[in-house]
Amino acid sequence: MKKVSAKGTNSRNYFIILIISLVLNFIYISTASSKVSKEKAQLLGTLLTPFGSIAGGNIDGSIPEWNGGISMENKTSVQNGLHHADLFADEKALKILTHQDLDSFSANLTKGQIKMFNSYKNTFSMYIFPTHRTHALPSWINENTKKNALSASLTSNNNGFRDAYGGTPFPVLNGSLEKKAMQVMWNHLTRWRGIYVIRRSAEIPVNRNGQFTPVIKQQEVLFNYYIPGRTYKDLENMLLYYISFTISPARLSGSAILSHEPLDQTLKNRGSWEYNSGQRRVRRAPNLVYDSPTASSNSISSIDEIDMYNGAPNLYHWKYQGLTEKFIPYNNYKINEKGQKYSNILMPGHINPEYVRWEKHRVHVIEATLKTGIRNIFSKRVFYVDEDSWSIAMAEQYDAREELIHFNISLLKNYYDLPGVSTSADVIHDIQSNRYVVSGLYSEETKGPIFLDKGPSKNHFSSSSLRRRGR
């Protein structure tokens, strides 16, 4: 296993720091053509990582340089249900932030984090640890990413892209602030999470008094965008296939959801079906889009908050706000270590701070504002996207009065058997009701996620298959 160093960059000379600053200006501030030049693409693997982030650390050394991340790619390609060991279990927190520290650390905090401190003054805290840039990708994805940098482009309405496959579509951001914002969002939507994944995990709505009933689901995802040996044309506008069976509680057991996720959902609507075990019927579910509530979350979250953001971006105006340094959830192994009890993790208002690891990382900040005449419960959304993995680490959702009503976090970690940084669990906080929902917990399950390098045929994700597999 290759392990990233925690060493900072205090010893870097002024010349290297200047180069990093120039790279930031060159890549992220330019508003020229949306096409990436060969000169910019050649930065990948040198001043930029193979996936498009700044390779160097920051000036004070609190964010280290990237030196390869963590990967077991050459040792194994398949792990059957691994509960990952905490690679940093012996580390001590540099600082435990509390409400009293807001003034001193506000530059590295978001409005959502400050809202949590103010809403839960006596219980919410943040354990700040040394930063480890652990993200790594399989070599074939890095190769595809370099090709995508030269070929990919957004569609005319930004609701899709063309000529990218099997890697980050836009590793080098370019064009207008709107185009850069959409490039970041498409990088998130297409980020590497494996080819075929099977996962049994819990979705747990937590009431304001801390009481909860886990909803156990088995989920299967075929990432059509990453099936090897194919090209963009083979996608046929289909990004992924998803199916989820509810195992417990008894009142929900046997129900299922099937989804076909198009790339451009303004050209073809998301295909969704529901299976009702009591009626043994499959029916279309056209309302599983945008801000429709998710039933299994006790309507705490909306459909498009799943995976921090999903679906068509056509309801919003999008703007890129730059690259900055924030404390984000990172290398969160503890929360899903085998045997961790949900009763220890979950508490009123938010999860137990002792189970969340925060690190300082650079993030792309994206703002989405609702278009005039469009109805949605969220009038504005702000996303903080990890520069290395292109995963949305945090999101803030505002209502029509511009009040912050949801603060969402993705507890990122490196699945070093995959390899790649992705979510260990997502948390959506409804700040007004003092409720929240956690999805993706599997510490009490016998197995963790299973990553397979070959998936079933598309027929496995058909409505007729859903009926056969339902009970």
pLDDT in tens, 161-194: 999 999 999 999 999 999 999 999 999 999 999 9
Q: What pLDDT does residue 23 have?
A: 54
Range of the domain at 97: 1-193+308-448
Region 135-150 average pLDDT: 97
Task: State the total domains in the chain.
Answer: 1
Query: 273 near 466, Cβ under 8 Å?
Result: yes
Query: 378 near 398, Cβ under 8 Å?
Result: yes
Is 344 within a domain? Answer: yes
Q: Token pair for residue 314? A: 């056509």
DSSP annotation of 304 reads G
Read off the pTM: 0.93
383 Rama class: left (phi>0) / alpha (psi -120 to 50) / beta: beta
pLDDT band at 121 (very low <50, low <70, confident <90, very high): very high
Question: Among residues 74, 94, 83, 88, which one has the least CA distance to residue 1?
Answer: 74
pLDDT in tens, 241-291: 999 999 999 988 989 999 999 999 999 999 999 998 878 889 999 889 999
Is 217 within a domain? Answer: no
Q: What pLDDT does residue 90 have?
A: 96
pLDDT in tens, 61-108: 999 999 999 988 655 444 578 899 999 999 999 999 999 999 999 999
CA distance 324 to 108: 8
Query: 196 near 79, Cβ under 8 Å?
Result: no
What type of residue sits at position 60? D
Q: What pLDDT does residue 12 have?
A: 45
CA distance 320 to 383: 10
Region 367-386 average pLDDT: 98
Is 163 within a domain? Answer: yes
- Virtual CA dihedral for 150, 262, 369, 186, nearest 10 degrees? -30
Q: How many CA atoms lie within 13 A of 335 on its CB side?
A: 29
* Helix ranges (DSSP H) in 297-443: 342-345
CA distance 302 to 428: 10
Main-chain phi, psi angles of 24, to 5 degrees: -55, -45
Is 401 within a domain? Answer: yes
Is 154 within a domain? Answer: yes
> In this prediction, what percent of the chain has a pLDDT beyond 90?
83
| C-alpha pair distances (Å), 131 with each of 8, 66, 184, 202, 296 | 9, 11, 22, 28, 35
Q: 402 vs 287, which has greater pLDDT?
A: 402
Is the confidence at residue 449, as pLDDT, over 80? yes
pLDDT band at 321 (very low <50, low <70, confident <90, very high): very high
Is 245 within a domain? Answer: no
| SS3 state of residue 281 | strand
Is the confidence at residue 30, as pLDDT, over 50? no
Region 194-206 average pLDDT: 97
Greatest extent of the chain over all pairs of C-alpha atoms, in Å: 70
CA distance 7 to 230: 40
Q: What pLDDT does residue 37 have?
A: 85
Q: What pLDDT does residue 6 have?
A: 38
CA distance 15 to 290: 47
Is the confidence at residue 343, as pLDDT, over 50? yes
Q: What pLDDT does residue 35 have?
A: 62
Is 420 within a domain? Answer: yes
Is 259 within a domain? Answer: no
Query: 351 near 407, Cβ under 8 Å?
Result: no
Who contacts 44 (Cβ-Cβ below 8 Å, separation ≥6)? 50, 51, 52, 145, 146, 149, 171, 172
Query: 191 near 389, Cβ under 8 Å?
Result: yes
Return mean pLDDT, the chain: 91
Region 304-319 average pLDDT: 97
Region 154-158 average pLDDT: 94
